[in-house]
Structure 1
Amino acid sequence: MVKFAPLAVPWERRLQTFTVLLFVFSLLVLPLICIAIFIGLLFTRFWVFSVLYATWYYLDWEKPAQGGRKVMAVRRWFMWKYMKDYFPVSLVKTAELDPSQNYLAGFHPHGILAFGVFTTLCTESTSFPSLFSGIRPRVMMLNLWFRVPFLREYLMAGGLITADKESAAYVLNKKEGGNLLGIIIGGAREALDARPGAYTLLLQNRKGFVRLALMHGAALVPTFSFGENEVFDQVKNSPGSWLRSVQNQLQKVMRISLPLFHGRGIFQYSFGFLPHRRPITIVVGKPIEVQQTLYPSKEEVDQLHQRYIEELCNLFETHKLKYNVPIDQHLEFH
């Protein structure tokens, strides 16, 4: 039975739905449109625009790995407020971040489309700058997306940078401090476990971020996004199933995961590609101080990684009851 949305919906809520629709569209369709425009212009009298952009693209190739190019006007777009209020998304601070230090923040879980980390670190809508004064956030994203013409400019404008060691070093080596590098540790593979009531994190063998923190002396900040997995449903794909096997193979080849998710529609609540209106709360934990070690040993990496897991579990257990997580529910690590 299809449950339709009421006709008398306030304009505020309509704007929220429209903004989230644009965001989902930008993630799922915009890359293809950007490629089509770039190639299509080459076969019109406006071919010079593609040639000029290709020249700029070549000269600017390294920029996504050199801190990107934030555009505050984009981060402050009025539309982000409507997107934040749609769920709503809120940010909780549990400890101070010293602006004289650099930080590496691990975000968990990935969810389907990572609404929490994007809204928090790539826009100004959750008041991150006022809560963490003097801290300048950037977020790592799969390098593939920065190869798409035009799209790369949009991504960098929000504070997104490539996910590689050189990119991390550029941010974390800045001597003035106040830089925060956000990494969704579980990455695209973790999205395959994103469904309501699931708290499975791909973290057990993910230690590269710990090594980066040690090499650059950046404090580790565990961060948990309560509600991130609640906004979409996903077709059952338990480990070992034929569907998960296909998804894993595609992920290895394409470097992106393809979860079969569904939510609600624009005018009805029963099916579609829009997320459900469910609260997302990003809780930023207490920083773990890290002593710089240029060449960390396996034992040092393992020790810090274990401490990070313990602090993340403590953060989750301390706050879970506030956000409707059952008392007998605990984090699972793969």
Structure 2
Amino acid sequence: MTKEKTQWKAFLEAVSTLQWVLSFLFLGVGCIFLSVYLMFTSLWPLPTLYFIWLVIDWQTPERGGMKARFVRKWSVWEHMRDFFPIKLVKTAELNPNKNYILGCHPHGIMSAGAFTCFSTESCGFTELFPGVRASLAILAGLFRIPFFREYAMCTGLYPVSKQSLAHLLSKSGKGNAVVIVIGGAAESLASSPGVNTVVVKQRKGFVRVALEFGADLVPVYSFGENEIFKQVIFKEGSLSRRLQDLFKKIMGFAPCLFIGEHMAFLPYRTPITTVVGSPISVPKRVLPTEEEVDHYHRLYMDGLSNLFHEHKVSCGLSESHKLQII
């Protein structure tokens, strides 16, 4: 009986994780094709009415999104959490009377740690940080995709645009923790097992926003994120890498050639431990100077490096592992 239950649980975990991977890869494209296809069928009034609604509702993602985030509590996310498993670790208190920008690293192929810990309730963020609301900000262009945008907003996702961040940090009260995967597409291209590379040296926009709204900075590192897929890394300057960079420049995300453990798409069952570091106090400066931006940017990189080295051994890495910040 126990064996059968264990097999059923493993099946639920695999299916739950697979649906997330397939949604990440194909749901947006599928929604676009479905919208176009329906326009040439007898159901054309449905997409027509939806597009009228889309024009009316165009700014909603930048204005706090949807209030009902029922998708965040689906049990499917708990099964996905258990697949790897994924764990959220708290190292310091976050004052619910302040706002925060959490910089999450590394991006990995799909940011499984960031999504599970901050866009679902499966890892217990609310219990670990009472009074603080986590909001994961993703590529703004995804909120222009019909139907997909509603699904994204239901999970509590937000565009990583200036207007959206300004709303979350100034018009939504206190206790907001906006999570940004700082390295983005450039960092995803460096994702590979055994690699601990983060792209942040030239990424200062999040620091400027933190200063403008007086939001404290918090470094976050997801140990194991780069281990769940194997990626083909093309050499700098090669034709394949140039094509990847061109696509990234045009579309905002990079096409990665990767493979998982089963059926290519199912990730390796490698533990992911997302560690939330100590907040870096940031003053409010409506017009921050470059010197101020550089100062807090250095403090952030130092905090990220310290977080990595303090927790790497307990999270499965050897003492010899180094963090490369580029």
Q: Gaps spanning 5+ residues in structure 2: where?
A: none
Q: Which residue of 2 aligns with 1:63?
A: 60
1:174 aligns with 2:171: yes
Q: 1 CA distance for matches of 2:172 and 2:154?
A: 23
SS in 2 for 1:314: helix
Contact 1:112 1:232 (8 Å CA) reproduced: yes
Per-residue CA deviations over 1:247-291 (Å, capped at 9, x if unaligned) read 11221122110111111225xxxxx12110000000000101111
Q: Equivalent of 1:163, from 149, 153, 160?
A: 160
Q: Which residue of 1 aligns with 2:305?
A: 313
Q: Which residue of 2 aligns with 1:219?
A: 216
1:94-173 alignment, distance < 5 Å: 94-173=91-170
Q: 1 CA distance for matches of 2:52 and 2:206?
A: 34
Q: Which residue of 1 aligns with 2:315?
A: 323
1:242 aligns with 2:239: yes
SS in 2 for 1:21: helix
Q: 2 CA distance for matches of 1:252 and 1:72?
A: 32
Q: 1 CA distance for matches of 2:250 and 2:83?
A: 34
Q: Equivalent of 2:193, from 163, 173, 196?
A: 196
Q: 2 CA distance for matches of 1:9 and 1:260?
A: 33
Q: 1 CA distance for matches of 2:237 and 2:172?
A: 47
1:273 aligns with 2:265: yes
SS in 2 for 1:92: strand
Identical counterparts, % of pairs: 44
TM-score, normalised with respect to structure 2: 0.96
Contact 2:91 2:277 (8 Å CA) reproduced: yes
Q: Compared with structure 1, are the counterparts of its residues 175 and 231 closer, same or farther at alpha carbon in structure 2 (3 Å cutoff)?
A: closer
1:83 aligns with 2:80: yes
Q: 2 CA distance for matches of 1:275 and 1:93?
A: 25
Contact 1:89 1:280 (8 Å CA) reproduced: yes
Contact 1:136 1:180 (8 Å CA) reproduced: yes
Amino acid at match of 1:317: H
SS in 2 for 1:101: coil
Q: Equivalent of 1:302, from 276, 294, 300?
A: 294
Number of aligned residue pairs: give it.
323
Q: 2 CA distance for matches of 1:72 and 1:206?
A: 30
SS in 1 for 2:177: strand
Q: 1 CA distance for matches of 2:286 and 2:132?
A: 24
SS in 2 for 1:44: coil
Amino acid at match of 2:42: R
1:283 aligns with 2:280: no
Contact 2:72 2:120 (8 Å CA) reproduced: yes
- Which range is displaced more, 96-105 or 63-72? 63-72
Root-mean-square deviation over aligned CA pairs: 1.5
TM-score, normalised with respect to structure 1: 0.94
Q: Which residue of 2 aligns with 1:264?
A: 261
Contact 1:185 1:206 (8 Å CA) reproduced: yes
Q: Gaps spanning 5+ residues in structure 1: where?
A: 1-6, 267-271
